[in-house]
Structure 1
Amino acid sequence: MYTHQKNYISAGAPAGKATGALIMLHGRGGSAADILGLAGELKNVNEFAVYAPQASKNSWYPHSFMAPDASNQPALNSALEVIGKVVEEILAAGIPAERIFFLGFSQGACLTLEYIARNAMRYGGAVAFTGGLIGEELNKSNYRGSFAGTPVLITTGDPDPHVPLARVEASVQQLQEQNANVKLQVYKGRPHTILRDELKLADEWVFGAQPPVL
């Protein structure tokens, strides 16, 4: 089994001058450089500081996101800790939680949803391109806090070879119970990829959203 270190590549504006921060999580077999490349397709993150953590062995956890929890440990908890450390670094740089955004694809989308549900608060927003909450069954005791209306976009294909629609829908319900403003977009027959339409929707609906009045 394996664990992760806080190892990321960054792009965009310096944290001290950025209007927000975006944490991007790659999928299984992908890389930080791969997912970071998507930032160039999102016009509304041009003034953000962008962070793309790199998983050990290019995988955040070894088995399916719906495998028994123990089979994905200690990698899963280690991956969640890495995200937490990046969030702490962003906060220390002076960017508040309500201007921190998340984006993940596939395994990275699952990890994105799992992290924010376990640490719910008013974030800038989150995008999960084909993912759901992690576990053989959803353990509601893991999820705490209120999103206070944080916009969360979840997109998926139907059917998808890795992510059942039923789990996506259960994840939407859980996030809504934590007061997230969730938008689910299902693409019939879409392969396991990210469509340009999904990027456009994320750019407009999440990254183009007006910041909250605090």
Structure 2
Amino acid sequence: MHKKNIKTAGKSLKEAEKALIMIHGRGADARDILGLASHLNVSEFALLAPEATNNTWYPYSFLAKPEQNEPWFSSALNLLKITVDEVLSQGIAAENIYFLGFSQGACLTLEFVTRNAQKFGGVVAFTGGLIGDKVNTENYSGNFNETPIFIGTGNPDPHVPLERVNESVSILEKMNAKVKLQVYDGRPHTISQDEIEIANRVVFS
């Protein structure tokens, strides 16, 4: 199970009016994803990056049956809840909490916010989609109240099929999110400068 290990940067939760929760990808760590912050308009934010035990949130593909990724999958979602609760306990409202993830971290980010939909500050998913061998809409409830969400992805991507990204966008929009999707033909599995610029414009403006 994931141990609570949350790295921080930026302003302290006591000083900041906004918080960004950053979720790293498979094989990476919290410091890797925190390094992205220098490219984003988040200088006034508290930054929190939970770290996966053994650098992986769940063992198999995000397209595997969810039970195959247990108990790590549920543990990862719980760690995000613990992180959010920590921010809320310091007086930062949900509408001032932002989320960002890359790859496996982007999938986890989208899964968490869609299971807990409400008015958040914004969400950035660099290459990700909702988790499971099929999308189970029974897991998702709430209303995003026009939360801005940016999803960038390559086509084709070796890990995240565009079909699942499109299906995820459709669900997010039905739940009243303002989604901006950008698809890059032939882009490798990485984060591009263009995606950074769109994230700054759409979410961190």
CA shift for structure 1 position 19: 2.4
1:112 aligned to 2:109? Answer: yes
1:207 aligned to 2:204? Answer: yes
Corresponding residue SS for 1:207: coil
Corresponding residue SS for 1:4: coil
Q: Which of residues 22, 36, 39 is equivalent to 2:34?
A: 36
1:193 aligned to 2:190? Answer: yes
Q: Within 1, Cα distance between the matches of 2:116 and 2:68?
A: 23
Q: Which letter does structure 1 place at the counterpart of 2:12?
A: P
Aligned length: 205
1:78 aligned to 2:89? Answer: no
Deviations 1:105-140 (A, max 9, x none): 000000000000000000000000000000000011
Q: Which of residues 6, 9, 14 is equivalent to 1:8?
A: 6
Q: Within 2, Cα distance between the matches of 1:11 and 1:30?
A: 17
State the 4+ residue runs in structure 1 displaced beyond 2 angstroms: none
Corresponding residue SS for 1:98: helix
Q: Within 2, Cα distance between the matches of 1:34 and 1:200?
A: 19
CA shift for structure 1 position 33: 0.5
CA shift for structure 1 position 173: 0.4
Deviations 1:143-185 (A, max 9, x none): 0100000000000000000000000000000111111000100
Unaligned 5+ segments in structure 2 are none
**Corresponding residue number in structure 2 for 1:139:** 136
Q: TM-score, normalised to structure 1's length?
A: 0.95
Deviations 1:57-104 (A, max 9, x none): 100000000001110001000000000001000000010000000000
Corresponding residue SS for 2:153: strand
Corresponding residue SS for 1:110: helix
Identity %: 58
1:156 aligned to 2:153? Answer: yes
Q: Which letter does structure 1 place at the counterpart of 2:87?
A: I
CA shift for structure 1 position 20: 0.4
Corresponding residue SS for 2:203: helix
**Corresponding residue number in structure 1 for 2:125:** 128
Q: Which of residues 81, 99, 103 is equivalent to 1:102?
A: 99
Corresponding residue SS for 1:71: helix
Q: Which letter does structure 2 place at the counterpart of 1:116?
A: V
CA shift for structure 1 position 17: 1.5
Deviations 1:21-46 (A, max 9, x none): 0000000001100000000111x210
Q: TM-score, normalised to structure 2's length?
A: 0.99
Q: What RMSD, in angstroms, separates the aligned Cα atoms of the two structures?
A: 0.6
